[in-house]
Structure 1
């Protein structure tokens, strides 16, 4: 057999591990090839030892990850280039270089500190390859765009879902985490700016277009994360996606009614969910009775259109309450007046609910001098153990709104847990940081469940 000349670094693929391309350092001084692998876990299958492991095949890229499994053929002590000795699992897999494929042995190890995710040793090259140390990428170098195309094609070949993230800012932590989680789990996730989407309403060929005329009708699902100022248009888009049978993680109608503070409270009460005593009126002449209705001062005054703690005032005296209420009403602003739960002591609980189950919870404490509605100004968050009553009220509220995913805010009172608000686009940063739970991944799993999707083995 004639031998093939290769350079000191090349792009190869590992077909059995479904790694479409990976840059290798060719090292004839190393006996055994090595592959960067993390989360290595052995298990038994048909009386054989196997391992599952994750490969991040592109250096300095935490988004692209391939979940792998392979039978273990050996476990050896291997000395690294730095002189460290490590007991490694050895697997056998296929290597493809320049359209030629053969089996090689590979050791699994964490190569994060190395410049290459894979090292090609002399055992894999014997009888087939000759190294020209002065050359690199004899079979062609790949640009970042080429690498991305190969991985996108690989996702599609694996039957990954095409998911659209419908939002306004691609740089927000929550949006970045959702994209990262989706890609990590084998799907193609693309960000679409709500403002740059537009609709074709037609009985025969309804369509949703994106800037430049790109048609989005081939998406499998969308995740709408609609900022309050874009509620009307964002819900209109989500409704159109639904009409062309694209799955939505939170439907338009559920988002719309959760954004209507008064209607959402009425809906919650109708479904037996307890809330702080709340008043609503439209005449300044009713101010005194309105204050008395909720137990007097101190009390909380909320702008009906306010969001995330904005437009929320704690009135500590009756006189302060009258001034604020009348000031808001002079602006023709609708308001809610709500009893102040003193025993909450500036704290509330954020529950994250997905598919009718509380998957995470944290306690938030307002900054000094503020109160619980002003958590957007800072404050602290910590783990908390929920009572069964608190879990029940969070799930019940989410179901009442018809939401698949929700952030549910509750407070503890002498009357038991009371619901404050249900958020249809809850942020992920605080709850993921406080609980160390992969909320973004659970959201992607919810879509998989909705579409009965299973990863190709």
Structure 2
């Protein structure tokens, strides 16, 4: 550019390198940095350099038009918004076109659902190139609805996939990224829905779920809840509201709720004929000795009902140690679960992944030396294992008893035969996909397709 161009406070622009043919931009000299609306922002490496993958919905309040983008990362900065909120954002460089003018700018990536424009052009990108006439709009020309339809028809051609929301907390988790990727590969419209950004409208005639910025989420075909333990209550309430709107949930709210209650889930499993290690339960017991003896004495496992991923689980190797731990838990006024210790397992257990009534993968987990519990989160190792027909039968029966379409079923091998330890309603994919090479995320998407009798072309 050799001369400055006069633009209005609102214009249409395009990003040729990102293959975005038209997007409305707010030209704001009061803002320092430029920002582009982006979702499912995922960093990755490409030829030894840091890149970022993301999707753009270029048209406000239109989730059907989706552009998949990739760009090299040039920086990561903390940006302060007009409301005072500080956010760490990836920064990319890309060419912007305004009318017949084209130049390279730096752009930060962020979710702009709550803003009126998908793109904000800040003064750093304008310097030496633009003069803003705040009373004017679209001085460089408007883009008609017909042109928008023409530009974006390629994103909606052919058979329409399902609209699926992944209800979770962290888009950077391997499991969440894999599920989004698997759905997109099978032709579906995938959206990451942060549980904390969702809120509900309870109304007899028009119930709704809203997302940050006021976007209504009632038009999803299905949701995949992956609720972290600390968000169980609110996450299940959201899932229940989706279900009330006749939106299919891969694991329903009632099943997730009962799976998070360790005692209730064990009682359900026993009532359905699933063998578990001998277990005792008490609330700060006075008869500590009897509680210890009822599970066969020491060594034994002591658990807090609220513990997850190996936290709140203690191995008491002697009776004295067990008494000390139980007495310590008494002071917390905590519900205590004690369980027989299966010594012959030698720090190993099995994780069987059940999807829609079938075991789709299995691995053996082994604890680190000196640890008694096999847990990938605590540094344990995973390997492929051949499971028996009986172990498969237990896993399938356990998932059915808990009414879970997707379940991670933990089994331990003992001299009495396979015993069930736990059923997880939001099992991680990284360890088991890495160990087995199976596309478990794809199996989860297929389970949703089966519910809708959906067939790929």
Q: TM-score range by the shorter chain?
A: 0.5 to 0.7
Change in Cα spacing, 1:191 to 1:62, as seen in structure 2 (3 Å) is closer
Runs of 4+ in 1 over 4 A off after TM superposition: 60-64, 143-147, 149-153
Q: Following the alignment from structure 2 to structure 1, what is the Cα–Cα distance between the partners of residues 454 and 180?
A: 18
Answering whether residue 419 of structure 2 is matched by residue 418 of structure 1, we say yes
Change in Cα spacing, 1:150 to 1:404, as seen in structure 2 (3 Å) is farther
Q: Following the alignment from structure 1 to structure 2, what is the Cα–Cα distance between the partners of residues 193 and 151?
A: 27
1:373-408 superposed Cα distances (whole Å, 9 cap, x missing partner): 544211211000010000000000000000000000
Report deviation, 1:320.
0.3
1:136-177 superposed Cα distances (whole Å, 9 cap, x missing partner): xxx999x99999x97896357521111101000010010011
Superposed counterparts of 1:232-271, under 5 Å: 232-271=233-272
Answering whether residue 200 of structure 2 is matched by residue 219 of structure 1, we say no
Q: Following the alignment from structure 2 to structure 1, what is the Cα–Cα distance between the partners of residues 174 and 414?
A: 32
Q: Following the alignment from structure 1 to structure 2, what is the Cα–Cα distance between the partners of residues 442 and 352?
A: 10
Q: Residue 358 of structure 2 corresponds to which residue in structure 1?
A: 357
Answering whether residue 434 of structure 2 is matched by residue 433 of structure 1, we say yes
Contact 1:162 / 1:219 at 8 angstroms: preserved in 2? yes
What is the count of residue pairs matched by the alignment? Answer: 330
Change in Cα spacing, 1:444 to 1:238, as seen in structure 2 (3 Å) is same
Question: Mean alpha-carbon deviation: is it higher for 413-422 or for 149-158?
Answer: 149-158
Q: Residue 197 of structure 2 corresponds to which residue in structure 1?
A: 196
1:28-55 superposed Cα distances (whole Å, 9 cap, x missing partner): xxxxxxxxxxxxxxxxxxxxxxxxxxxx
Q: Residue 186 of structure 2 corresponds to which residue in structure 1?
A: 185
Report deviation, 1:284.
3.1
Q: Following the alignment from structure 1 to structure 2, what is the Cα–Cα distance between the partners of residues 170 and 184?
A: 18
Answering whether residue 211 of structure 2 is matched by residue 210 of structure 1, we say yes
Contact 2:376 / 2:431 at 8 angstroms: preserved in 1? no
Contact 1:63 / 1:180 at 8 angstroms: preserved in 2? no
Contact 1:162 / 1:220 at 8 angstroms: preserved in 2? yes
Contact 2:365 / 2:375 at 8 angstroms: preserved in 1? no
Q: Following the alignment from structure 1 to structure 2, what is the Cα–Cα distance between the partners of residues 313 and 368?
A: 16
Paired residue secondary structure (2:267): helix
Change in Cα spacing, 1:284 to 1:201, as seen in structure 2 (3 Å) is same
Q: What's the TM-score, normalizing by structure 2? A: 0.67
Q: Residue 74 of structure 2 corresponds to which residue in structure 1?
A: none
Answering whether residue 295 of structure 2 is matched by residue 297 of structure 1, we say no
Contact 2:368 / 2:374 at 8 angstroms: preserved in 1? no
Contact 1:63 / 1:184 at 8 angstroms: preserved in 2? no
Answering whether residue 387 of structure 2 is matched by residue 386 of structure 1, we say yes
Q: Residue 87 of structure 2 corresponds to which residue in structure 1?
A: none
Q: Residue 51 of structure 1 corresponds to which residue in structure 2?
A: none
1:45-104 superposed Cα distances (whole Å, 9 cap, x missing partner): xxxxxxxxxxxxxxx89999xxxxxxxxxxxxxxxxxxxxxxxxxxxxxxxxxxxxxxxx
Q: Residue 372 of structure 1 corresponds to which residue in structure 2?
A: 373
Question: Mean alpha-carbon deviation: is it higher for 348-357 or for 281-290?
Answer: 281-290
Contact 1:174 / 1:429 at 8 angstroms: preserved in 2? yes
Report deviation, 1:427.
0.4
Paired residue secondary structure (2:301): strand
Change in Cα spacing, 1:153 to 1:218, as seen in structure 2 (3 Å) is farther
Q: What's the TM-score, normalizing by structure 1? A: 0.67
Q: Report the RMSD for the aligned CA atoms in angstroms.
A: 3.1
Q: Following the alignment from structure 1 to structure 2, what is the Cα–Cα distance between the partners of residues 186 and 431?
A: 24
Contact 2:376 / 2:382 at 8 angstroms: preserved in 1? no
Contact 1:367 / 1:375 at 8 angstroms: preserved in 2? no
